[in-house]
Structure 1
């Protein structure tokens, strides 16, 4: 009986939530504060390609906190302004080194994928790296329980690690 009641409440919240006029508190919306960075070396074009996956509501809050400006990643008319904010945020919170050389990273763009946002960046052309170091402090400006998972793939070899707040650096040798 209790399960049926809780399920009914959940469905009511899902159906009526958008009409309530305010967002739920982020801590109660989803208590897991996690992002992923998937760093892959593209053997064909010689670039390191990075795909971030971040909960949209958390990312918007982090952007608002850092830039003191309203953010809405899902509004098409705000996409250009959001591109600037997202690019600047990543510049401040993510870096890559390949074989001890800091890489300039180019922002490619972002897209909404259900309740998450995927953000794409890439390096310029480099030789296949033997060692990759990542600095990742994404959402550290928002949560002190943030977990950032970093996957790195070179020539088919994938290595993964987690960075529990306040940790920000991971190095993998290939």
Structure 2
């Protein structure tokens, strides 16, 4: 009985030591988190869908550089003049919308910086009642397989959220 107790105590001690070592070691390992957040709002009065995407600047620069083989220097004095054209081209390819079974083009409007995040404003001209809304978002998935693209929608007064990933890049919402 006493030997069994000592055996259990030694095993517990080993587990505690291993967990402590693991916790200590993991505090030195930086694990990058790859995520974008996109808000999609249908604004019938303006006859458009407004899209606001928040993407980490450093990740977006890496993605743009890989895609177009250029340094963009986003949100710095060295930013190249044609940056907005490349962002438009990139977002057209990486974000697609099929509304009521018909594809629509995303138009990039402008961008701004908030801390280490680039906020991209885009729109889709649309004036009908929305019954189905298919969203395709593969922003930065070609660069980071761990990329998560969170989508929040407010369409016809209905709020929904979805998570898109490298393996699941699209979703269909019904209203």
Partner of 1:67: 68
Shift of 1:76: 4.5
What are the Cα deviations for residues 102-153 of structure 1, in whole angstroms up to 9, with x where unaligned?
0122110111111101111111132121111111000011101111111111
- Aligned pairs for 1:15-164 (under 5 A) are 28=30, 31-76=32-77, 78=79, 80-164=81-165
Shift of 1:43: 2.0
Contact 2:135/2:170, CA 8 A, preserved across alignment: yes
Q: CA RMSD in A?
A: 1.6
Q: Which moved more, 1:102-111 or 1:62-71?
A: 102-111
Q: Alignment partner of 1:108: what SS?
A: strand
What are the Cα deviations for residues 10-42 of structure 1, in whole angstroms up to 9, with x where unaligned?
xxxxxxxxxxxxxxxxx94x6110011111100
Shift of 1:79: 5.7
Provide structure 2 residue ranges, at least 5 long, that are not aligned to the other structure: 1-28
Provide structure 1 residue ranges, at least 5 long, that are not aligned to the other structure: 1-26
Q: Alignment partner of 1:78: what SS?
A: coil
Q: Alignment partner of 2:144: what SS?
A: coil
Q: Residues of 2 paired with 1:111 and 1:49: CA distance?
A: 15
Q: How many residues align?
A: 147
Which structure is larger by alpha-carbon Rg, 1 or 2? 2
Q: Residues of 2 paired with 1:113 and 1:156: CA distance?
A: 28
Q: Alignment partner of 2:53: what SS?
A: strand
